Amino acid sequence: MNYVLGLINLHEDNRLIKEITRKRPIATIPFAGRYRLIDFILSSMVNSGIISVGIMLPDKAASILDHLRSGKDWDLARRHEGLFYLLPSNDDDDIRQSELKTFYQNLNIMRRSPQEYILLSGAHTVFNIDFNNVLRFHQNTNADITMLYYRPGRKLHSPCTVIKTKENGLVSDIANCPAAGEDADVSMGTYLMSRKVFLEIVEHSYERGGSDFLLDGIMRMTAHYNIYGCCYDGYVSCINSLYGYYQTSMDLLNPQIWNELFIDNAPIYTRTKDDVPAQYKSRANVHNSLISNGCTIEGLVENSILFRDVRIEKGVKIKNSIIMQGCQLHKNSCLENVICDKNVTISAEKYLKGAESYPLIVEKNTVI
Amino acid sequence: MNYVLGLINLHEDNRLIKEITRKRPIATIPFAGRYRLIDFILSSMVNSGIISVGIMLPDKAASILDHLRSGKDWDLARRHEGLFYLLPSNDDDDIRQSELKTFYQNLNIMRRSPQEYILLSGAHTVFNIDFNNVLRFHQNTNADITMLYYRPGRKLHSPCTVIKTKENGLVSDIANCPAAGEDADVSMGTYLMSRKVFLEIVEHSYERGGSDFLLDGIMRMTAHYNIYGCCYDGYVSCINSLYGYYQTSMDLLNPQIWNELFIDNAPIYTRTKDDVPAQYKSRANVHNSLISNGCTIEGLVENSILFRDVRIEKGVKIKNSIIMQGCQLHKNSCLENVICDKNVTISAEKYLKGAESYPLIVEKNTVI
Amino acid sequence: MKTECLAMILAGGQGSRLGVLTKRVAKPAVHFGGKYRIIDFPLSNCSNSGIETVGVLTQYKPLELHTYLGTGEAWNLDRKNGGVYILPPYAREKEADWYKGTADAIYQNINFIETYDPDYVLILSGDHIYTMDYSWMLEEHKMNKAEATISVIKVSHKEASRFGIMTTDRNGRITAFEEKPKNPQSTLASMGIYIFNWRLLKRYLEEDYADCLSEHDFGKNIIPKMLADHVRLFSYSFDGYWKDVGTIESLWEANMDLLKETPSFDLGGSWRIYSSHNPLPPHFIGANAKITNSLVSGGAVIDGSIKNSVIFPGVHIGKKARIVNSVIMPYSIIHAGAVVEKAIVAENCEIMNDCHIFSDNGSITVIAEGETITSIGSDNKQVG
Amino acid sequence: MKTECLAMILAGGQGSRLGVLTKRVAKPAVHFGGKYRIIDFPLSNCSNSGIETVGVLTQYKPLELHTYLGTGEAWNLDRKNGGVYILPPYAREKEADWYKGTADAIYQNINFIETYDPDYVLILSGDHIYTMDYSWMLEEHKMNKAEATISVIKVSHKEASRFGIMTTDRNGRITAFEEKPKNPQSTLASMGIYIFNWRLLKRYLEEDYADCLSEHDFGKNIIPKMLADHVRLFSYSFDGYWKDVGTIESLWEANMDLLKETPSFDLGGSWRIYSSHNPLPPHFIGANAKITNSLVSGGAVIDGSIKNSVIFPGVHIGKKARIVNSVIMPYSIIHAGAVVEKAIVAENCEIMNDCHIFSDNGSITVIAEGETITSIGSDNKQVG
């Protein structure tokens, strides 16, 4: 797979989960106890043998640079190839700043790259996928563009791209919908194409005033290209709403999904932190939960996810909650259907409760 | 020296050498055949034992990220510490964007850092310095702030900061001048202070409306702190004009300066490129010049600097010129007092000549 | 490539007192503390102390240690100059000379050390669990103008005869040294951590090499010789947690030391212990699990009950299985209904349904790497 | 850690034919081509071919090679899984078994190879200069459904008796193999580059190990045995530059091959040869220097005249010194007025003022590492 260049586009619409993306892009939302969302696409690329990955940086790039750093943790700190960043170049007028414009400004990098194919993706999708299968599909169908899609099997309440395919896999329709029905085929926002097709689409559509790769590029050029849909039937969740984030997190408490994402397939890499093993004290009482290294537990935890370095004191009760890195829950506090962002402190005896369909969010660094 | 945190501020005024900084910040101006200006401060820090360096990114960050990448070439790709980036956080209003504001927005990183001292510098200074001596000076004088200065020994035509010191080294005056006389003590823009003092200055001066660390910070707080000047008597050149760039480059053809910068002291690191040795063909005729790996020479080169992968064909004559990476000089072309930016092509038989005090600049990628 | 101080870790012992745990791996590669290996401790101490050139002297079964250390990245030791090097016995013209003792191991690597032209050499042992900032010790070494400094810890009078015991004057200068004395004159025990001025040590190593009566051991030969020569030998007092884990009993105890309500050794804190391991997700605790006074690591799946135990990454504990006072090393599977009491279960073992691992006489049961235990009862144990 | 194909570089030879050049370093560490060492070629070929797990089998003087390779960063081989490993003879219970032959060297590292569970193993030699994309060879190996593939190059009929010579059928399947035949049947010479299906090779290595009459050599034992057993052996034709640099003469010639107006071997181009070296500035050419038909590397200072020569990093050529048809290795200093003709001057030498290095009979003069030549004339030479 070192003939495939990975491109991760972080210009993603993050207004839909604004409570946890006020200071970070979707790509660095903490997830599953120790990961950031970008870990899933990045690890899938690396595990598929891709050794050259370009990251198209968004506005709030600090948390991205801080998370990825040298790329070492994904084995992408390489003398040649490896991780690199695409930035909008600011020396021209600032009008028409867009995803397509950034691609257009960086076309030379793509032109010079030795890879034959480009795998383009966002970073808001949770999956663990071997792209070698997608490449094989792409080559076998002789597709110009292969779009990955999945069947959520449940109604999606947030905006998504729904596609229709003919029997042979050819895409016959692409639509941007506010929501999708239970039986819809939903695009994962991941595309495989030759570098040549990618360059053509970017040049053609940007030079004609386009701004969005899907809307102004692919969707207007369906007549030009053979676009195939490739269905992925493993676990997929595209996170673009707060409820989606909560629901996907709770999915992980299903051992089958936990195993599929983390154990049975290639590993998901993330920035390593050298935490100590989780410590269970004599009053610990934990059921049906995911617990990360560095936690110290003296209370009750049920149906919950604890990130690294969370401290649960005596008498605490936590149910159906997500507690991010560095939170401190003092004696006898009680949380139900709550998402605590990083470094939240809940004082002794406090009681917080959200609804199952509308979890309560406690912002980063808050002391309650 | 791992109790010193290096901070390199790339918010530098690059209007004065606009011809070669249109698409790059001063920090990544190519220099001395294979380096970028930032290599000198970065290597000096690393060679002094500093293992944690924060880079305050400027607007045109692409070339910085591309040059530094993982930091491996400076041995700064580390699991902890190592190279990290400071970015302005864009989530607030965009008013008052400034150097001090970026420091202020990133104060938490500095607060959490385990290092006791901060060494703050720009990236436009050519030197090869052991900061251990500066630290010793700082500790011995009990200074709150140590400012490095040098005696250029020649008149400087571009803006600089001139300081006056008492006999014991205490700084008695700091002034920003349009130019400096031959005997002036000129600041190198490099400051050593305790983290505590740095945090105080940034907080105090930003919260009172300041924007510039020197003008609004240090210069207004001279009464508060013991500021000492530490004179560095090795080779120094601060590059902030086109003529200064040309003059400093020509300085390197003095073997004494070449030796001092590159051979006698610790090495200057840069991004390594795996070029082949320079090839001299049967008609090559080279005198008093610096020649980089990857060059192929069939013509005459005198008093010049050739960067990597320059091709000099038969009959070509080059004098007093700087030819950057990837330039091609075709047959019988002739250049005198010229600076060719990267990837310039000079067609056969062309003749270009600038003045010694006003070299002609050929912009990147131009074909003449 | 001048380096002020480099470290040499003596990791060469065959570790036979650790029995089946060292059948396939060298002693320093033995697992400890829920996610570490023994060698993580000296390596992390070096890295955190700013010592970035480390030689690991290994003699037996270096392969697993070799692949474990890799480039040294996990310990921040993948440096351009320096970093971590595995040093097996040096190949001579005709045959390899095995390391004949701790001093000989250093002697045979003089060329390696000289590459870095160090002022000081720090000699460490590969089988101790502790955290220590060597840069403080080096600071004291310099302040004392010492030629050699030995780190010491107070032990009980009873234990003293198991160690090398120092007597010091009021300035900390060592006046006498006895290796495993019957009637110890003091309770200051050598921790096997030495700083030497390299020029001096080199001379002593060369002399020692030529001495055919010598056992080529630091404690038995080099240190006594230096004392006799009135070399400036100083002690450096250490009062934290320090444990030799060279036996099954002490390895088990050191693991148990991590579990008390306030553990005698706390792995947390700002002194990070680095470790290289497979990327694994947070561990999964099932609906009927019950875990108290234990350490559990990533990727584990716990459906049974665990008490006073250390559970390594990737371990599976089945439903109604019960683990008490035990150490379960990576990727071992304890099936439903099995009971493990006061045991060390090495890597990749499988304890089948309803098996019972325990020992009649209260000793520690050890299950060797890769074993599958199928019969029910205590007969299947292998005492280390 | 599944790896499709890993490479093993046989770098163990004592290199005695290279004389004083290998007195202090292993043959693969010998300098070549103005800034490289011999081992840079197979390592770069591996890296560029996407083979990122490489074992370097070394027996003699591994220290310099060890510090030269470091983490493998220079060749992009500082990988999390895989990367470059130096493999000295494996330590057994009592003593080290020296590698008895090329096949034995691989046999002794079966455990290492199995760690990566490869489908294919690529066997390379550590003393050849060439660039080659092994992934094409692997592709052809798979397409042929071969069990072993040997890379071959056409040589002249005269040279053929120095090589292992193949006869192939029209599909490229090898029908006969002769090691250094007196009357060669063909001119297809083995380049010492093999791809084997690992399962098959492992079986043959085990059988070969048990055979006490075997010399444990690929060319002499393994390949003939496979042929006799009708294993699917194919040839892979290579027609680029390829040179064995195992002797002083061939090493000198290979250096000279880089210098012609259109060199027979071009180091440039898109196939990068990686190399690890000190960071040095562009070289400095003085006012009276004269350089033609030569290669010059970073950090050199040239004040004299150079013709048809290869100048390594950090070399100093003094005023009025004259270098002709020679190879001057890193950091050597040729003082003013000295003359060097048809010589290889190893690292860190010093040729004092007005000395004259040449040989009366047209042979190549070799100056060993670190030598200082003070007397004037040709007597001081050391022929390799």
Per-residue pLDDT of chain D in tens (384 residues, 90 and over written 9): 578 999 999 987 665 666 777 777 778 889 999 999 999 999 999 999 999 999 998 877 677 888 899 889 999 999 888 899 988 876 554 555 677 888 989 998 999 999 999 999 999 998 899 999 999 999 999 999 999 999 999 998 888 888 899 999 999 999 999 888 888 888 999 999 999 999 999 999 999 999 988 889 898 899 999 999 999 999 999 999 999 888 899 999 999 999 988 888 888 778 899 998 889 999 999 999 999 999 999 999 999 999 999 999 999 999 999 999 999 999 999 999 999 999 999 999 999 999 999 888 889 999 999 999 987 665 444 443
Q: Which residue of D has its CA nearest to A75?
A: D80
Are A287 and C285 in contact (CB < 8 Å)?
Answer: yes
Q: What is the pLDDT of residues C355-374, one digit of tens each?
A: 999 888 889 999 999 999 98
**What pLDDT is stored for residue D384 in this prediction?**
39
A126 SS3 class: strand
**Beta-carbon contacts of residue A138 (< 8 Å; ≥ 6 apart):** A117, A146, A192, A228, A230
Host H or E run for residue C200: helix C198-210
What DSSP state is assigned to residue C171?
T
Among chain D, residues having any CB pair with chain A shorter than 8 Å are 50, 73-74, 76, 78-81, 272, 274
Of the candidates A22, A23, A87, the beta carbon closest to that of B61 is on A87
CB pairs under 8 A between A and C: 102
Interface of C with A (CB under 8 A): 33-35, 73-74, 261, 267-268, 272-275, 278-299, 301, 306, 310-311
Chains that touch D (3 or more CB pairs under 8 A): A, B, C
> Which tokens belong to A137?
């599909």
The CA distance from B90 to A57, in Å, is 13
Is pLDDT at C383 greater than 50 in this prediction?
Answer: no
* Min Cα–Cα distance to chain B from A115, Å: 19
Dihedral in degrees, nearest 10, Cα atoms B59, B62, B64, B66: 170
What is the residue-averaged pLDDT of chain B? 90
**Cβ separation C283–A278 shorter than 8 A:** yes
**What SS3 state is found at A324?**
coil
φ/ψ of residue C367, rounded to 5: -105, 125
Confidence (pLDDT) at C260: 83
Q: What is the pLDDT of residue D1?
A: 56
- Which one of D35, D262, D284 would you mutate to disrupt binding with B, by most B Cβ within 10 Å of its Cβ? D284
Among candidates C160, C124, C129, C348, which has minimal Cα distance to C250? Answer: C129
Q: Which of B2, B79, B80 sits opposite C50 (nearest CB)?
A: B2
Two tokens, residue C226: 């230096």
- C-chain residues near A285 (CB < 8 A): 290
Tens-place pLDDT, residues A278-298: 999 999 999 999 999 999 999
Chain A residue with minimal CA distance to B81?
Answer: A69
Integer Cα distance of B129 and B189 in angstroms: 14
Interface of B with C (CB under 8 A): 2, 75, 78-81
Closest-CA distance of chain C to residue D268, Å: 26
Contacts of B89 in chain A (CB under 8 A): 23, 60, 62
* C chain contacts of residue D72, beta-carbon cutoff 8 Å: 71
pLDDT higher at C115 or B88: C115
Q: Rounded to an integer, what distance in angstroms lies between the CA atom of residue A199 and that of residue C243?
A: 62
Cβ within 8 Å, pair A69-B89: no
User: Inter-chain contact D89–C89, Cβ cutoff 8 Å?
Assistant: no
Amino acid symbol at D78: D
ipTM of the complex: 0.90
> How sure is the predictor about C97, in pLDDT bands with cuts at 50, 70 and 90?
low
CB contact under 8 Å between C81 and B78, yes or no, is: no
Chain B residues whose CB is inside 8 A of the A70 CB are 69-72, 77-78, 82-83
Residue of B nearest to C51 (CA): B2
**Of A118, A98, A122, A24, nearest in space to A64 by CA:** A24
- Mean pLDDT of all residues in C198-208: 96
Query: C-alpha angle with apex C279: C273 to C282, nearest 5 degrees?
Result: 85
Query: Residue D228: exposed, middle, or buried by beta-carbon count in 10 A (0-12, 13-18, 19+)?
Result: exposed
Q: Do B62 and A22 touch (CB under 8 A)?
A: no
Question: Which chain C residue is nearest to residue A266, measuring alpha carbons?
Answer: C279
> How does DSSP assign B42-101, residue by residue?
HHHHHHTT--EEEEE--S-THHHHHHHTTSGGGT---SSSEEEEE---TTS--TT--HHH
Task: Count other C-beta atoms under 10 Å from residue C313's C-beta.
Answer: 23
Task: Check CB contact under 8 Å for A278 and C301.
Answer: no
Measured in angstroms, the CA of A307 and the nearest CA of chain D are apart by 25
Minimal C-alpha gap between D41 and chain A (Å): 17
A23:B91 CB<8 A: yes
Mean pLDDT across B289-303:
96
pLDDT given at position B5:
96
Structure confidence by residue, pLDDT tens digits, C293-341: 999 999 999 999 999 999 999 999 999 999 999 999 999 999 999 999 9
Nearest beta carbon to residue B274 from set D272, D285, D297: D272
Q: Output b/e per residue, D352-377; b: 16+ Cβ within 10 A.
A: beebbbbeeeeebbbbbbebebeebe
Encoded tokens for B329? 């000089």
- 3-class secondary-structure state, position A52: strand
Question: How confident is the model over B214-235, as pLDDT tens digits?
Answer: 888 888 888 899 999 999 999 9
Give the model's confidence band at B83: pLDDT under 50 very low, under 70 low, under 90 confident, else very high: very high
Instruction: Please give the span between the terminal C-alpha atoms of chain C, in angstroms, as a whole number.
Output: 45
Name the minimum distance, in Å, from the CA of B70 to any CA of chain A: 4
Give B141's contacts (C-beta < 8 A, 6+ positions apart). Answer: B168, B169, B226, B228
**pLDDT per position as a tens digit, A40-59:** 999 999 999 999 999 998 87
Is B75 in contact with C272 (Cβ distance < 8 A)? no
The answer to whether A122 touches A189, Cβ cutoff 8 Å, is: yes
Regions of chain A with pLDDT less than 70: 1, 14-16, 89-96
Query: For the purposes of burial, counting CB atoms within 10 Å of the CB of C266, is it exposed (0-12), middle (13-18) or buried (19 or more)?
Result: middle
Residue B63 has pLDDT above 50, yes or no: yes
